[in-house]
Amino acid sequence: MQRIYLSPAVLACILLVLTALAAGAENDDMAEQRQAMLEAVRESVRQSEDYTGYSELSDNVMLAMGTVPRHEFVAPVHRDLAYRNTPLPIESGQTISQPLIVALMTELLQPQPGDVILEVGTGSGYQAAVLAELVKHVYSIEIIEELATSAAQTLQRLNYDNVTVRAGDGYAGWPEHAPFDGIIVTAAAEHLPLPLLQQLKPGGKLVIPVGEHDGYQELMLVEVDENGDVSRESVLPVRFVPLTGDR
């Protein structure tokens, strides 16, 4: 029998090619699953039209949802479920929101390419990444330090250079970077946080779940007009983890 000897350098090359092929196959699979997720989101948007008034979401929001690799923001153990249209657990007893809710909250903000947005509740960093596809800069605050650190690392690894994350209580907003074109709060508040209203530009939008912590809340779209008058609209019953912090 003839033996073939391969030098370590050749073996290393073969290994590299095989790894690249496997990664390529996984990426194709994830891209396919992401498309299926978009279909599920479209269907859920149609089903909730009576509440939200939306029969479909903007192309740019759907494009952002179709671009961000949600599987990179979930725990390895949940990777197979990353593109289901459901919330999933993340570290520290928190959750990554349902794709429908991420897409709808993004739509409600009406993000524009030059916008600067504040997010309260970074969690995994997924919502920040979706926004980062659409706006100039996203500032995001997370009250749990470990989550802030891991989300910042994920966003950096995926080259989301237009997202800045810090640990802290987002109830107070981020005055150093205010005023914002839009603010999105991804945890349930019992009332509208005054500091966040004060950090909105005239004409800016605040998207926030408001209500009791142990039940359903109302997803609210709050707008502050040029005269400082505040209008609020209830969009959909939702269930979020609570906005925590000492108050």
Instruction: Determine if 174 is a binding residue for ligand SAM (CB under 6 A).
Output: no
Measured from the CB atom, is 221 or 243 closer to ligand SAM?
Answer: 243
- Give me the helices (H) in 70-198, please: 99-109, 126-132, 145-157, 194-198
Encoded one letter per residue, x for contact with ligand SAM by CB under 6 A and - for no contact, window 115-154 reads: -----xx-xx-xx-------------xxxx--x-------
Rank residues 139 and 224 by Cβ distance to ligand SAM and give the closer one. Answer: 139
Q: Is the peptide bond before 175 cis (omega within 30 degrees of 0)?
A: no
Give the three-class secondary structure for 212: coil
- Output phi, psi for 20, to 5 deg: -65, -40
Residues of span 214-243 touching ligand SAM by CB under 6 A = 240-241, 243
Residues in the chain: 247
Q: Say whether 97 is catalytic.
A: yes
Distance CA 116, CA 34 (A): 27
> Among residues 81, 162, 169, 216, which is the contact residue for ligand SAM, using CB under 6 A?
169
DSSP 243: P
- Which residues are CB-contacts of 25 (< 8 A; sequence separation ≥ 6)? none
| 110 φψ region: left (φ > 0), alpha (ψ -120 to 50), beta (else) | left
Given 171, 178, 196, 206, the residue binding ligand SAM (CB under 6 A): 171
Nearer Cβ to ligand SAM (49/200): 200
Residue 187 engages ligand SAM in binding (rule: CB under 6 A): yes
CB-CB contact of 234 with 218 (8 Å): yes
Query: In whole angstroms, how close is the CB of 198 to ligand SAM at the nearest point?
Result: 16
Say which residues have a Cβ less than 8 Å from residue 101's Cβ, sequence separation at least 6. 87, 219, 238
String of contacts with ligand SAM for each residue 61-100, x by CB under 6 A:
---------------------------------xxxx---
Catalytic-role residue among 44, 55, 92, 97: 97
Q: Which is nearer to ligand SAM, 45 or 128 (CB)?
A: 128
Q: So which residues are the catalytic ones?
A: 97
- Chain residues binding ligand SAM by CB under 6 A are 94-97, 120-121, 123-124, 126-127, 141-144, 147, 169-171, 186-187, 240-241, 243-245
